[in-house]
Structure 1
């Protein structure tokens, strides 16, 4: 028995020595470089690619099947002279015996100087699409067609054994100095990944594989260059089709034309999972950073085999949005002071390849907190849906500063008004009427981006606890608007303002070259002085405004819209006051002149109160005609008829003041109202800049002469009645009175 064991051992030892000797002989006396042509032909026939071996082939047989290729390239059979891949060196070795068990056990795999060139030609055909394909010209025309009646191959008739994946066992994978070039000729776009370095730990199925990948990425449209690094632990299970990348960190720096000379430092971290059996993927413990921006969240994707559905959530920590935009070469638009200084966001996300929705949205922008829902229902149609609520929002803060053209027009306008006011001696009331203004009050700068408006598909429902607009503090503001196919509709814009309220409705048709707008307005009990003051003008009057209007306009600038303004309006101003204009004193001055007496004191007040002011307006091409102005003040009734030229913000009014009697406790004796003056309409002319209000009003001297003549005629008539009494007939007395009234 011992002898048998000894013989068996010697036999095995002998066989091992023979195998080693054969391996030594094969590796030392068999040179694969002598068979390069056969190798190229074998690759051409089996893999259908053109292999070029310019360098030496090194190899070993046992116990490792080792191979080294130097200076090799691969091309498609359709373009064998244009390699799509080449490398300086590929080195790998495989254990021989495990191959018999369908196990791949490799030592270190090294790839040096790999260059991959991918090109899409003018016809949109990619050179990678021909890999492994046999050109039509290479087919053998002499090959006889298959005989239909030939017996089927018995081997093929046998059922295939269930495929089992090879077991991978690699000590490490190293790729040094690789490069990938992609050139899309029809779009003139290029993408390059260069200086690619990849290193891994041992590669085994269902185990963590440490990896590190670095590369420099660049594109030409736009010109961007990025330095990147990816680290993590890769785990895969080929049987379960499950892939994970734990402790993932992707970081780098980017520079280029979009960044305007600035640098973007970015990183992304988290755990990645793709389960192809369940058709789901996820990114958990998500952390993003880009310069000052910091974000946390998680993302989940399902239905990878159909239409992917993404859900998740994200939060962005507070940052200075203006500084962030400046840091990435995208300066913030020129908005008001204090805008875009603080931004913070939390939201849930739901998305498909064609849509995205932000639900439970909460945004803190500067001093505002905004909550609600934002969605783009169709990326192609840019279908935007908004449902937002803000506690407070200062819209003026986010408006562009006034343009230079508007500034110059405004300066000229203000200079004209100031000059008119300087010439107006309101205290004495003896200066001539100011001239009608001539300077335009509105800018002709482009107001609306028509092309963008024509593409809008918007449905918005916005509400604000407090909205500041044109310096007006609007409480409980709400806006419902929609836009589709170039028609923008404001269903309702309403709010409370200074214990009053308002509502605006309208639409804008942006389809024609000259857009057309229609606006309907309702204002109830809103202090009018705040409207005027918000425009940077000192209010000439105060009171509670009630207004209804229905107007149309066309154009794409303030100037064009005002000059084409047409429509109607009615207004009423209750509890009003004419500021810095004692109209009663001016009337008293006129009465004292008729009484041939001098005023004994200074004016008792600088304002003129009135109980009501109302009328109707008809707009024709920017000029508002007001034929029925009615004003009531204590002891006076005022009737007005005139125009307001909105194009230059000027007025031209003829006003009639009817004296109803002096109601004051201590009237000035010089202007004591004679009973015969009651019911007389005293003429007043108002002309000049609208901002001057009553400062631009003067007694009409010509009209005053007619009043005096009428009063004189009435006085003579009284004398005739006194002298003649009942001595003559009434007809004769009327004829005599008529002689003195001509």
Structure 2
């Protein structure tokens, strides 16, 4: 028995020596380079690819099946002269015996100089779709009555069963040096590339972590973008469970190109990635993102990967300077009225999305000194369908408006200088100075107001509320803005709120479909102090009081000046419990009475306000000029009627006003300003002309009209004397009716 064992051992040793000898003979006596043509034909027949071997083939047989290919390329049979892949060298070796158990045990795999070119033609067909496909050929139909034999069926079943068994991978390492991948799309003109790809891994075993490191230079053609990237982490996969993990993933690099306008963006991303194809879910946990000074944390989850993927998760962006960040990536914001805005921005939200939409739910934003909460969503990326539902504690919109251009500042300064010069003359005396000239300086800017091209594309539904909103320096309480827009037509459904213990509401439309934007606005203001609308930066408002206004206006253009120049519509207004500031209207009228009395006022002019109970009228707008045919005012002791124009283009006024006055009601009236019976019911004329900011300070006696009044008074005086003579001469000799008739003959 011992001898038999010894003999068996010698036999096995002999067989092993024979196998080794055969392997040595095959590898040294058999040269695969002599069979390149046969190898190419096998590639055509079995793999259905065109294999070109320009370099040498090196190989070994046992115990490692080793292979080295040099300067090889692969093309599809449909386009054999244009390879989609080529390489300088591929080196690998596989243990022979484990292959019989469908186990792949490989040593180091090295790939040098791989070039992979993928392209899609104008019909949308990709060259990779033909890989492994035979050329179209007529396939002979099976003979009639022919069928699959039981032996064939069993062999096919055995082959299928064997192919379903997964191959067990065991690779010591994988190294790829200087690889390149290029993709071109003829239909869209897009191109993407990855160059200088360096990839190295640790031991590749299924179910265990595989250290991985890769660097590459990425690029795109439209727009031109270039990026340097580095990827590190540990890859783990289980093909049976269809589960893939990338743990401790870290991606970093920097990018530049056309979208960044010559600037460079440094970026980084890290976290734990999981793809479970059996459950059709993907996760990115422990997400950390950075781009220049922006920092974000969060998590992302995808489900229904086999259908329409659904995104959920959360995102938190730490406080950062948005203005500086956008400038650092080549997208600087226009200068705003307050350059310090957007310097403190932070965000927390819950994400919901699909491949064509994204919603920021439970959104909380801190923007400088304001806090917003609500929802922000793009319901359709292709249509730019924006949906906004936000609530804010306070927001000063004036700080975020565009800063005025130098031209606008210069025009404003010129007009202020003009107003100040006219105001100085108006205050020189109580109506004794000449009537101010009408202003000539334009009051409005030519700066562009609206981003028309963007508005034409927008699909908008916005619902905003503010506990406190500042707009055009007006503090609006409990403001509510609701608007929608689509196809270039934007509708302001409402903008309302409380204002200085009053309230207001506006509705309107903005149509940017035509070449020149068209605006329609309907406004209602209820008992809001008017001085807040008409005060200037250099002087107090000329009028105070509670304004109630209704207007329906239209305009065209994309600047303040264009809109005012084309302003048309109607309005009505009432100002209650008001004051004409620094305008002693009583003194003006005393001057008129003194003139009629042919006397001179003895008192000094007094800078006294003129209170009024009501000031009302209607306006008809025509191309920036408002006609006011029915101005009426109720002032204690006075009745005022007037008509005139407001030139909104230069904020000027030109009015003719008639005042019925009772006279000087002071305890010690000026003797020259005493009203006799002949002045009762007499209408005294005033002319008001000049900058609108001057208000009643720009009013003077209308000398032409006053001459007519004097002539009328003289005629009335003659008539009065004749009446006295008639009474004296006729006495009781005639009836009263006849005497009245005779007196009427002499009255004008």
TM-score bracket, normalised by the shorter chain, equals over 0.9
1:161 is paired with a residue whose SS is helix
Q: What is the aligned counterpart of 2:147 among 145, 151, 165? A: 151
Deviations 1:319-357 (A, max 9, x none): 011111111122122212221111100000100012111
Matched, 1:611 2:607: no
**Conserved in 2, the CA contact under 8 Å of 1:716 and 1:737?**
no
State how far apart, in whole Å, the 2-side matches of 1:209 and 1:669 are: 110
Distance 1:432 1:674, change over 3 A: same
Match of 2:211 in 1: 210
State how far apart, in whole Å, the 1-side matches of 2:209 and 2:10 are: 44
Bigger shift: residues 713-722 or 515-524: 713-722
**Conserved in 2, the CA contact under 8 Å of 1:709 and 1:741?**
no
State how far apart, in whole Å, the 2-side matches of 1:256 and 1:225 are: 6
**Conserved in 2, the CA contact under 8 Å of 1:634 and 1:663?**
no
Deviation of residue 717 (structure 1)? 3.8
Match of 1:712 in 2: 714
Match of 2:271 in 1: 270
Bigger shift: residues 167-176 or 582-591: 582-591
State how far apart, in whole Å, the 2-side matches of 1:335 and 1:371 are: 24
Deviation of residue 594 (structure 1)? 3.0
**Conserved in 2, the CA contact under 8 Å of 1:426 and 1:695?**
no
Bigger shift: residues 143-152 or 604-613: 143-152
2:226 is paired with a residue whose SS is strand
Match of 2:328 in 1: 327
* Aligned 1:652-671 pairs, distance under 5 A: 652-671=654-673
Deviation of residue 423 (structure 1)? 4.8
1:375 is paired with a residue whose SS is strand
State how far apart, in whole Å, the 1-side matches of 2:447 and 2:143 are: 81
Deviation of residue 415 (structure 1)? 4.5
Distance 1:262 1:514, change over 3 A: closer
Matched, 1:127 2:127: yes
Matched, 1:223 2:218: no
Matched, 1:599 2:601: yes
Deviation of residue 169 (structure 1)? 0.7
State how far apart, in whole Å, the 1-side matches of 2:420 and 2:357 are: 56
**Conserved in 2, the CA contact under 8 Å of 1:637 and 1:660?**
no
Match of 1:486 in 2: 488
Matched, 1:475 2:471: no
Bigger shift: residues 499-508 or 730-739: 730-739
Distance 1:530 1:245, change over 3 A: same
Deviation of residue 546 (structure 1)? 1.1
Matched, 1:294 2:265: no
Deviation of residue 378 (structure 1)? 1.7
* Aligned 1:311-390 pairs, distance under 5 A: 311-337=312-338, 338-390=340-392
Match of 2:63 in 1: 63
Deviation of residue 646 (structure 1)? 1.9
Deviations 1:59-86 (A, max 9, x none): 1111111111112111222222222211
Deviation of residue 35 (structure 1)? 1.2
Q: What is the aligned counterpart of 2:521 among 519, 522, 526? A: 519
**Conserved in 1, the CA contact under 8 Å of 2:267 and 2:291?**
yes
User: What's the RMSD between the two structures over aligned residues?
Assistant: 2.3
**Conserved in 2, the CA contact under 8 Å of 1:519 and 1:552?**
yes
**Conserved in 1, the CA contact under 8 Å of 2:59 and 2:67?**
yes
* Aligned 1:68-467 pairs, distance under 5 A: 68-136=68-136, 139=137, 144-158=140-154, 159=157, 160-161=160-161, 163-337=164-338, 338-424=340-426, 426-467=428-469
Deviations 1:292-326 (A, max 9, x none): 00000000000000000000010000001111111
Distance 1:454 1:189, change over 3 A: closer
Deviation of residue 94 (structure 1)? 0.8
State how far apart, in whole Å, the 2-side matches of 1:20 and 1:224 are: 56
**Conserved in 2, the CA contact under 8 Å of 1:637 and 1:658?**
yes
Distance 1:253 1:512, change over 3 A: closer
State how far apart, in whole Å, the 1-side matches of 2:61 and 2:152 are: 33
Match of 2:565 in 1: 563
Gaps of 5+ in 1: none
TM-score, normalization by structure 2? 0.94
Distance 1:424 1:156, change over 3 A: farther
Deviation of residue 736 (structure 1)? 6.2
Q: How many residues align?
A: 738
State how far apart, in whole Å, the 1-side matches of 2:512 and 2:291 are: 39
State how far apart, in whole Å, the 2-side matches of 1:533 and 1:428 are: 22
Distance 1:148 1:352, change over 3 A: farther
State how far apart, in whole Å, the 1-side matches of 2:725 and 2:587 are: 37
Deviation of residue 6 (structure 1)? 1.6
State how far apart, in whole Å, the 1-side matches of 2:334 and 2:503 are: 33
Bigger shift: residues 147-156 or 3-12: 147-156
State how far apart, in whole Å, the 2-side matches of 1:536 and 1:48 are: 86
State how far apart, in whole Å, the 2-side matches of 1:515 and 1:262 are: 35
Distance 1:433 1:735, change over 3 A: farther
TM-score, normalization by structure 1? 0.94
State how far apart, in whole Å, the 2-side matches of 1:570 and 1:253 are: 62
Bigger shift: residues 20-29 or 713-722: 713-722
**Conserved in 1, the CA contact under 8 Å of 2:272 and 2:286?**
yes
1:725 is paired with a residue whose SS is helix
State how far apart, in whole Å, the 2-side matches of 1:57 and 1:534 are: 90
Deviations 1:640-694 (A, max 9, x none): 1112122332222110111134433332233233343232111001122222222
Distance 1:576 1:623, change over 3 A: same
Deviation of residue 290 (structure 1)? 0.7
State how far apart, in whole Å, the 2-side matches of 1:442 and 1:716 are: 55
Distance 1:582 1:238, change over 3 A: same
